[in-house]
Chain A
Amino acid sequence: MAIISYREALNQAMREEMERDENVFIMGEEVGYYNGAYKVTQGLLQRFSERRVIDAPIAEMGFAGIGIGAAMVGLRPIIEFMTWNFSLVAIDQIVNNAAKLYQMSGGQYNVPIVFRGPGGPAVQVSSQHSQSFESYYAHVPGLKVVMPSTAYDAKGLLKTAIRDNNPVVFIEGETLYNSTWEVPETEYLIPIGKSDVKREGKDITLIAWSKMVWTCMDAAKVLADEGIECEVVDLRTLRPLDIDTVADSVKKTGRAVIVEVGWPVAGFGAEVAYQVQKLCMDYLDAPVDRVTSDDVPMPYAKNLEDEVQPQIKDVVAAVKRALYLE
């Protein structure tokens, strides 16, 4: 096992899949000569040439659509959005074309494409550059939505996403690129649609994805010192959702708190809460609760930015409410 960064894990996944399959190429802004705005594509241009590592001008709608057209006729594009914030000008391509073509063509044209890039709040970049769009994309049938929290998951899931026959929205944690994890040196794949129990515990289930898994793990450590054992379930994939792993955990602990960094209204956690209450009603000892960001555009000032997002203390407080300790 080697300890590598989340960034390096993603780079390895793309490099390995491009070695493996000639049809895989990467296209996006600054992915080639600049080596990626976040350096995720470092060195790929030198290895694979301009034919397969394609610098695109600022035209997300255009190059997302080009990826979809190329995928329809058999290529396997990886489309990098510099950040998911910029995907909104391409959302018509993702929702109206990529997601629908398989059904709209009566099963004739599938779209094997990965849309990837950083998402979720960054650091002090204010409202237009610090947003979580997973709930938007998870709403759409025909898409798969993947949000890894660790380097290990990032590599195994990205490799699987590239091999998937359908469009995959792969949202990387913008603040996770430097985080490290043990990653095997031999090839491995992680299936899309499988949650992962990141920490076992008997008292309460914390459900999260991407960056919030780390917040929950930190909160679990704080609570362990007080004798409260949290189980942390990392969804890893939002669509398709592995609700069985979540429900098994909640049936064991009897309590659930869903922690997400997105906005509260119609956030993905609401769907998880609905499914948990439906499947676990007879096992619940407290209402299913959610911790989310505040219902505001992201402020710039560091103190306000922190205040808006779920912090360890917010998760600790929610756990104590669910345990009727406060």
Chain B
Amino acid sequence: MATASISTPDTKRIEPPDDSPVDTTPEELAPLYRQMLAIRRMEEAAAKGYSQGKIGGFLHLIIGQEAVCVGAIAALQTDDYVVATYREHGHAYAKGVSARSILAELYGKKTGCVKGLGGSMHIFDKTKNFLGGYGIVGGHVPIAAGAAMASKYRGDKRVTQCFFGEGASTIGGFAEGLSLAALWKLPVVLICENNQYSMGTPLYRSLAVEDVSLRALAHGIARDRFDGDDVIKVKRRLAEAVERARTTGEPTLVEVVTYRFRGHSMSDPGLYRTKDEVEEWKRRDPLQRSRARLLEIGFPETDLEALEGDVKAEIEDAVKFAEESPPADEYLPYVTKPDDQEAR
């Protein structure tokens, strides 16, 4: 597991998956299950809005991968930073951004978290220290290292988590961000959400070595690699990396193997993978897994149904809010920020 020492390269995929349950309590798991469910319902609502022509542009859904963002962000404190990709609705929600402001943004409304100026790929919320969704693959990795650099500069003990897909591991932004974070010992956790397809290209056709975490070895930093279907496991393993960043200031490269159930974006029918493969992964659905585990550890079914009803109401309210909000109405004030008079 996570270690800075040189170990034998593990170039194989994680097969068979490690399904051994991780100790948890209903108090810990129920809120995380609730977040995952809300994210899935929010994504389904977005897909519906897209098919109705109410949401435009690109829409990248995270359905199937919810345990990664929810588990990872659960290991953070509220003043820690998160930097994410264009598949970031779930990360934003897990960091505390409301479903209302996310869906209103997707609908291009004034009440959206960025006033209808960013859309699906650019969710930001400064009040939640959610530093954004970025649309250029890998270009946000140095940004995350920069937020971490500021924490080191100030000594504020905050940690930054940076999410990216395995497809980002082949571009320069990732390589330079990783290299500088390691060189300067920046308190950032680099989290590769390996969903095994960079758009339509499988791992074996984009990476000579199908283990992104191995890049850590070249930079002398800690690494970790595991399956991402169990939200509690994700939280536990990320907590180690977060703790390392907070106490020693050192970065960790974490690779979490996961799978997206939908296409790369709404326009992708996913013809590059077989139905059997998708079905096999759906049997590992992180939501069903957490739900079953909750019942197993004694969370009452009636409470579970109440929780699910609550999520349903939350997302229905968010959709209604998005639908009824006024359209976006201004963009000129946000090109450049006026000077602070007191700074002069």
Contacts and interface: CB of A to CB of B under 8 A. Distances in A.
B12 interface: no
Q: Which of B113, B149, B151, B173 gathers most chain A CB within 10 Å?
A: B149
A66 B182 CA distance: 13
Nearest to B328: A106
Contacts of B124: 104-106, 108-109
B64 interface: no
Chain A's interface size range is 35 or more
Given A103-B331, A104-B124, A25 B339 contact: no
Interface in A96-146: 96-97, 101-110, 141-142, 144
Contacts of B113: 106
A57 interface: yes
A163 B343 contact: yes
Interface string A54-98: 001101011111111111111100000000000001001100110
Contacts of A102: 334-337
Given A65-B140, A89-B172, 18 more contacts: A59-B180, A62-B145, A62-B179, A66-B180, A68-B142, A70-B147, A70-B150, A73-B150, A73-B151, A75-B150, A96-B139, A103-B331, A105-B118, A105-B126, A106-B334, A108-B125, A165-B340, A166-B336
Interface of A: 25, 51, 56-57, 59, 61-75, 89, 92-93, 96-97, 101-110, 141-142, 144, 163-166, 189
A69 B337 contact: no
Interface of B: 81, 83, 112-118, 122, 124-126, 131-132, 134-136, 139-151, 153, 172-173, 176-177, 179-180, 183, 331, 333-340, 343-344
A41 to B, nearest CB: 18
Contacts of A73: 81, 131, 147, 150-151
A165 B173 CA distance: 25
27 contacts: A25-B153, A61-B142, A62-B145, A62-B177, A62-B179, A62-B180, A65-B143, A66-B146, A66-B149, A67-B146, A69-B142, A69-B146, A71-B146, A73-B147, A75-B153, A103-B334, A105-B122, A105-B132, A106-B116, A106-B117, A106-B334, A110-B337, A163-B343, A163-B344, A165-B337, A166-B336, A189-B344
